[in-house]
Amino acid sequence: MPPEKLRGKVARLLLLADVELEGHRDWDIQVHDEGFYARVMAEGSLGLGESYMDGWWDCCRLDEYFCRILRMELDSKAFSWRDLVAVLHAKVFNLQRLSRAFQISRHHYDIGNDLFRLMLGKRMIYTSGYWDHASDLDQAQEAKLEIAACKLRLRPGMRVLDIGCGWGGTARFLAERYQVQVVGITVSGEQAKGARECCRGLPVEIRLQDYRNVEGDFDRILSLGMFEHVGLKNYGTFMQMVRKHLEPAGLFLLGTIGKNRSTWRTDPWLTRYIFPNSLLPSAKWISRAVEGLFVIEDWQNFGADYDRTLMAWYDNFQTNWNQVRAKYGERFRRMWEYYLCCCAGAFRARQIQMWQIILSPNGIAGGYHASR
């Protein structure tokens, strides 16, 4: 197709989302390389992201740009043959099997505690904060941990399992604030190292292990921001593991990003550069996985709060970038800001959600009344 026709086709698609080529609004895009149009039409989301990393185009407010194109579902209109191959691959193979469990840590979580420390805030919590009464990121993260603890109805001396414990911020909060014993598991060596430092002197044990190798029984179990890496083929295994290790009168809090539709499609750019082998669950898939194992006691959605959290991370990243510039380089900077802004835009467009779900093995006598 001639270059002018490719440019016209891209321009018409973008106009559906009120985005203009070479426009003057914050969400309009400026193209620096004419090869951009052919690359995007041939490679879809992957070409869009890679061309941004390569400096082929720019946008003052990537988050607003993504909100508009995702609200109009333009990503599906530029679906490429590579997307189809990725979907078929995910359906046929178990991309999250045990032998691949540590791949995500090598690719993402182990890239450097320095980067995450300057971005995430003082507790280094890598999931959404809860902003109802918060004025900054640290307050929002503490509020999220407080509401999770209240939902779990923690009491001193309880034994708690934190699946996907990150850098230990949650485990430390629970041990200090609620006097519980915590076992945290992670597949990231850097996270395990950071978590042990964070929780030194507290009744917290950090294990470098996959959820399928958990041992012991627990009064409460929680998982904040890890279920996105489990994969549909393993949801049943995950829930069975939780049920096996949770006391009959216990509670399980599942915190996960979720999508509105049950699809195998995962954004190919995010898969290649940020979260390999990830798949966002749908409500249907979660419900099927817990059927016969748990009673769903409560299901809260605060997806809009994740938008605000991501933009706070973005601000921290930009403010502190010079501290790590020499280590990571310019292409990484563009990749990382693209990642944070495209995710913020997806939450803002309400295409994806943030769920906290409370599950009990046998149902709470008299009913469960959730904290908000």
How far is it, in rounded angstroms, from Cα 53 to Cα 10? 19
Options 59, 67, 342, 343, the catalytic residue: 343
- Do residues 185 and 207 touch, judged by C-beta distance below 8 A? yes
Question: What are the residues whose beta carbons fall under 8 Å from the beta carbon of 8, sequence distance 6 or more?
Answer: none
343 is catalytic: yes
CA angle centred on 157, ends 152 and 163, rounded to 5°: 50
Kindly give the residue spans of alpha helices, DSSP state H, lying in the chain: 3-15, 36-53, 62-71, 74-77, 81-92, 103-104, 113-120, 137-152, 169-178, 189-198, 235-245, 268-273, 283-290, 303-320, 325-328, 330-348
Question: What are the residues whose beta carbons fall under 8 Å from the beta carbon of 121, sequence distance 6 or more?
Answer: 137, 138, 141, 312, 316
Two structure tokens written together for 264: 């195998």
How far is it, in rounded angstroms, from Cα 6 to Cα 368? 57
Residues acting as catalytic residues: 343
